Amino acid sequence: MSDHHGTVLLRGGTVYSPADPFATAMIVQDGTVAWIGSEGAADGFADGVDRVVHLEGALVTPAFTDAHVHTTAAGLALTGLDLAGAVSLADALVRVAEYVAAHPGGGVVLGHGWDAARWPENRPPSRAELDAVSGGRPLYLTRVDVHSAVVTTALLDRVPGVASLPGFDPAGPLTRDAHHAVRRAAQAAVGPGQRRDAQRAALRRAASLGIGTVHECAGPDISSEDDLTGLLRLAAEEPGPRVFGYWAEAVRPGGEEVLQRVRDLGAVGAAGDLFVDGSLGSHTACLRTPYADAGTTGVLHLDAGQVADHVAACTEAGLQAGFHAIGDAALDTVVAGVRAAAERVGLARIRAARHRVEHAEMLDADAVAAFADLGLTASVQPAFDAAWGGEEGMYAARLGKERARALNPFAALLRAGVPLALGSDAPVTPLDPWGTVRAAAFHRTAEHRVSVRAAFTAHTRGGWRALGRDEAGVLVPGAPADYALWNTAGELVVQTPDDRIANWSTDPRSGTPGLPDLSPDTELPRCVRTVVGGRTVFASTDE
């Protein structure tokens, strides 16, 4: 199975396919699905193939697509200072001190994942505290949402003029322009070898989880041109997940140089984290009314006119446009801007371009209807709700319980016909595709839940549709042979976790293919093998 040439018959398992809900066998030929069917029919093919793989009851599904990843940052979190597990401010400072002691030298120390909202002290480390434990080293530690960071004085000294930038705080976290400036300085200290190692680590982790494709969300305020081109080159040179890159740079009137830069970088669109606002955790998502726990409505980085200019230019250039928008005011801005672009270039062309919006958390009914009308794809992260939703979660603290309950309305989006693509935003939340599907199906707010099947489709085929590719992300004859083999703990089921969810039938006689039981506290499926284009990119050592 490591050779993507020739013909391979997989048999003796369960193949998840709309082509045959009872399929147990599949033939792959030269990197493409050639046939799917029953065990009896497979007997007639066995002598004419190059290899037969006995599945021994394993489940075969399309490989997952993670529609929002920051690959280098995710790899650095895997290989560097990870503060996601810190249970208190004191614990975080100890972890910083221990990491610095274990990694001597003068280079910049990078870390990620602190979340003061979970700590009993309920505050981030101060600059003075970090200076004391870092031994004078430049230190850059991103909050879990990556929209703010705490740093040491030694890193600030590398960024002349940072104190005059919006978002600068003399003692606490940096946001907005000040954060972007120190992030560029920190990332500049990452050499090509370290960057490549981090990218390789992230892609290997993705492959081990059955992820066959990732959408890299790059941009001038997030990473660098070298980071994106290096990642695309690595993905082309080494077996692993497919990588499609987005470059988040706004196109202004007469901005042909930006459009050409997007093409030259090998990106598929000027989209991804093109910031209209920030994040809820950092109080920078842009709201109609102030935060419940702060006297601010957040930050708006682009206005409706700038959104319209960008969308119109990208549409006319044949490129996808897209934005990062979380708060309700930011989403109002996106909708108004895309509508204005549609008046310029035509609604049909806007719809055909499949422009996308990342996160799209505070959508009301009017915004959902607008997304459907404009053909916008919602690239969403269900793990956000699992991490920060609920009556006692960070969302409720930031917004109050009533507004928090309205976040991430996945069911309403699907009912309206809005295309969904699921992702992790790694390293904000970990690469974890089955956990992501579970989070969508068991949303903390019951009316926003969707069926496991709908969530699975959004995390496989949905990511390909977001790229404008309707033929991939599903196991049917003619589709790319991107698939994963799974060991599952129990029977396959057709699962709708809430009886208010519209359900065609859970009766096996309906011909609806089953998926693993993802009920809370059940064991998630374990990936045995991941195949991309017919080539194995991950194989479990105990397969």
Per-residue pLDDT of 308-318, as tens digits, reads: 999 999 999 99
Q: Output phi, psi for 39, to 5 deg.
A: -65, -40
User: CA torsion 84→88→90→93, rounded to 10°?
Assistant: 10
User: Hey, what are 306's tokens?
Assistant: 């700038």
| Residue 373, number of CB atoms within 10 A of its CB | 18
Cα 133 → chain centroid? 33
> For residue 33, what are the β-bridge partners?
28
Per-residue pLDDT of 61-89, as tens digits, reads: 999 999 999 999 999 889 889 898 899 99
Q: Which residue has the tokens 């991103």?
A: 142
What does the alpha-carbon distance between residue 526 and residue 208 come to, in Å, rounded to a whole number? 9
Coil, strand or helix at 353: helix
What does the alpha-carbon distance between residue 323 and residue 191 come to, in Å, rounded to a whole number? 29
Residue from 127, 128, 130 nearest 92 by CA: 130
Residue type at position 105: G
- Peptide bond between residue 430 and the one before it cis (omega within 30 degrees of 0): no
What does the alpha-carbon distance between residue 217 and residue 202 come to, in Å, rounded to a whole number? 14
Residues with Cβ < 8 Å from 396, sequence gap 6 or more? 390, 404
Q: Output phi, psi for 457, to 5 deg.
A: -60, -40
Angle between helices 71-79 and 225-237 (to 10 degrees): 80
Do residues 378 and 357 touch, judged by C-beta distance below 8 A? yes
User: Hey, what are 50's tokens?
Assistant: 């190059």
One digit per residue, pLDDT tens: the chain, 543 residues? 445 568 999 999 999 998 898 999 999 999 999 999 999 899 988 888 999 999 999 999 999 999 999 999 999 889 889 898 899 999 999 999 999 999 888 788 898 889 998 899 999 999 999 999 998 999 999 988 888 899 999 999 999 999 999 999 998 899 989 998 998 888 888 889 989 999 999 999 999 999 999 999 999 988 999 999 999 999 999 999 999 999 999 999 999 999 999 999 999 999 999 999 999 999 999 999 999 999 999 999 999 999 999 999 999 999 999 999 999 999 999 999 999 999 999 999 999 999 999 999 999 999 999 999 999 999 999 999 999 999 999 999 999 999 999 999 999 999 999 999 999 999 999 999 999 999 999 999 999 999 999 999 999 999 999 999 999 999 999 999 999 999 997 788 887 766 555 443 344 445 678 899 999 989 999 999 999 999 999 999 876
Residues with Cβ < 8 Å from 542, sequence gap 6 or more? none
> For residue 82, what are the β-bridge partners?
112
How, if at all, do strands 139-143 and 109-114 pair? parallel
What does the alpha-carbon distance between residue 325 and residue 357 come to, in Å, rounded to a whole number? 7
What does the alpha-carbon distance between residue 198 and residue 349 come to, in Å, rounded to a whole number? 39
**What is the secondary structure of 116-131 as a DSSP string?**
GGGSTT-SPPPHHHHH
Give the Å distances, CA to CA, from 387 to 100, 178, 402, 424, 435: 29, 27, 18, 12, 11
- End-to-end CA separation in angstroms for the chain: 13
- Peptide bond between residue 62 and the one before it cis (omega within 30 degrees of 0): no
